[in-house]
Amino acid sequence: MRLVFITEARFIKLPDGRFYSLESSFAMPLYRRYLENFDEIVIFARTKNGTTNEVIETNLIVSDKVKVIELPCYVGFNQFLKLYLKLRNTLKQAIEKYIDPNTVILCRIPGRVGATAISILKNKQLPYGIEVVGDPFDVLSNGATNHSLAPIIRYFSYNSLRKIASSAPAALYVTRYKLQERYPCKQFSIGVSDVVMTPITFIESPRLLLRQGTAKLICIGTLGQMYKAPDVIIKSLKILIDRGISCELKWIGEGIFKEKMIMLVNQLNLGNNITFTGKLPGGAAVRNELDRSDIFVMASRMEGLPRAMVEAMARGLPCIGTAICGIPELLDKEALVTVNDVQGLADKIEYFIKNKEFTQQQAIRNLAVSHTFEEEILNVQRKQFYDYLKRLVKQVHE
């Protein structure tokens, strides 16, 4: 069967017709996972024309079994409003093209593309499934966005997702229980992480951390929004340096807020302590950086179940994260901090640096937990969800 995958991801199309995902998490490893259950994939995604200097080569869509349907490319709520009618018409035409007994439709939410597609599918009384990968209640709170209409958008987005989940024929959640509690599905549902963890992802055995010298902290996340709270981490590092704690931070990620964060680093005289690498190819390049580090820090203002954290755990790293959405499903309570708590984050990092035996035990514990995300284990659960959708499609068309 064919899978139509409707997503918030953005793609770049080069003049020669090649497609690249803008984020490594939407590159080929993700679609190979779906291809284990479907013969081909058709991706509906926002796409813009671009050049080779805008893409990462490893994000190339290289399979003849994967096709990209171009949706209008907007960024932000204002552009969405301007392009809404064009987006809806494009989605409607694309959906109508693929209505047949051989096609399963899966909408990845939250997001405006998925929500728009679902309204069309409901009007046509077509079966579909949803993948719930995040929480708009968190995205639009905790300082994650400065949009003047954020409180209003937050209210409507939260209620919209509750309605979408409640009425969905089937739902897959990336958390074990957090998203399910807030956005329950009345029909078939299952909790399975969307993290892709192949054998090469895991380190063989725990390694020795925090040797004499400077503690090496690492953060991974987009700087296209303030969801990952780079400002909180930078300010926390300032507190640590002022306390005489020898540490340095490396941030992997790119986005429009990068320059603003560099300005904040310079204002706080942390230029010798914080490095921004920009975007790195997924896989070995990121693993190499994780292997050079001592502690992984994620001060997110919103999350689903963070892939980057699971990858850090798989490299035997102790992790510190905010007590939000799926993160408490990954870490011990002793490794959690409150959202936007600069002082609390600094205190937690200092405790990890100074209590090496505790930190080493966290690393060992995290490596063990990461193995629960092995692809072979999760594939069995995912297959249950996809098989249910296939049966649903056949029933509707019989």
| pLDDT greater at residue 398 or residue 249 | 249
**pLDDT for res 207:** 78
**pLDDT for res 157:** 83
Count Cβ atoms below 10 Å from residue 42 Cβ, excluding itself.
20
Q: Which domains does the chain carry?
A: 2-197+374-397 (3.40.50.2000), 199-372 (3.40.50.2000)
Nearest to 241 by CA among 220, 219, 271, 221: 271
Using pLDDT thresholds of 50, 70 and 90, give the confidence band for residue 173: very high
**pLDDT for res 145:** 57
Q: Which two tokens stand for residue 196?
A: 């892709």
Q: Which of 162-176, 259-273, 311-325, 372-386 has the lowest mean pLDDT?
A: 372-386
Using pLDDT thresholds of 50, 70 and 90, give the confidence band for residue 140: low
pLDDT reading at 144 higher than 60: no
Write the pLDDT tens digit of every residue in 288-336. 999 999 999 999 988 878 989 999 999 999 999 999 888 999 999 999 9
Q: Residue 248 in contact with residue 210, Cβ under 8 Å?
A: no
Write the pLDDT tens digit of every residue in 260-273. 999 999 999 999 99
Q: Which two tokens stand for residue 30?
A: 């993700």
% residues pLDDT > 90 (the chain): 73
Cα 381 to Cα 87, 194, 395: the distances in Å are: 33, 11, 22
Using pLDDT thresholds of 50, 70 and 90, give the confidence band for residue 380: confident
pLDDT reading at 83 higher than 60: yes
How many Å apart are CA 64 and CA 379, to the nearest integer? Answer: 23
Using pLDDT thresholds of 50, 70 and 90, give the confidence band for residue 130: very high
Count Cβ atoms below 10 Å from residue 346 Cβ, excluding itself.
23
**pLDDT for res 293:** 94
Spell out the SS3 assignment of the chain.
Answer: CEEEEEEEEEEEECCCCCEEECCHHHCHHHHHHHHCCCCEEEEEEEEEECCHHHCCHHHECCCCCEEEEEECCCCCHHHHHHHHHHHHHHHHHHHHHCCCCCEEEEEEECCHHHHHHHHHHHHCCCCCEEEECCCHHHHCCCCCCCCCCHHHHHHHHHHHHHHHHHHCCEEEECCCCHHHHHCCCCCEEEECCCCCCCHHHCCCCCCCCCCCCCEEEEEECCCCCCCCCHHHHHHHHHHHHHCCCCEEEEEEECCCCHHHHHHHHHHCCCCCCEEEEECCCCCHHHHHHHHCCCEEEECCCCCCCCHHHHHHHHCCCCEEEECCCCHHHCCCHHHEECCCCHHHHHHHHHHHHHCHHHHHHHHHHHHHHHHHHCHHHHHHHHHHHHHHHHHHHHHHHC
Nearest to 4 by CA among 154, 156, 130: 130
**pLDDT for res 397:** 79
Residues 6+ apart with CB under 8 A from 124: 95, 99
pLDDT reading at 360 higher than 60: yes
Using pLDDT thresholds of 50, 70 and 90, give the confidence band for residue 375: confident
How many Å apart are CA 284 and CA 259, to the nearest integer? Answer: 26
Q: Which two tokens stand for residue 131?
A: 């993948």
Write the pLDDT tens digit of every residue in 183-239. 999 999 999 987 778 889 999 887 777 777 899 999 999 898 888 999 999 999 999
pLDDT reading at 135 higher than 80: yes
One-letter amino acid for residue 12 of the chain: I
How many Å apart are CA 325 and CA 323, to the nearest integer? Answer: 7
Q: Which two tokens stand for residue 333?
A: 């309570």
Write the pLDDT tens digit of every residue in 6-51. 999 999 999 999 999 998 889 998 899 899 999 999 999 999 999 9
How many Å apart are CA 396 and CA 388, to the nearest integer? Answer: 13
pTM to 2 decimals? 0.78
- The rounded mean pLDDT for the chain is 91
Q: Residue 177 in contact with residue 315, Cβ under 8 Å?
A: no
**pLDDT for res 150:** 65
Q: Which residues of 142-174 are buried (b: 16+ CB within 10 A; e: fewer)?
A: bebbeeeebeebbeebbebbeebbeebbbbbbb
Q: Which of 144-158, 163-177, 194-208, 237-251 has the lowest mean pLDDT?
A: 144-158
Count Cβ atoms below 10 Å from residue 343 Cβ, excluding itself.
12
* Mean pLDDT, rounded, for 154-164: 88
pLDDT reading at 81 higher than 90: yes
**pLDDT for res 152:** 74
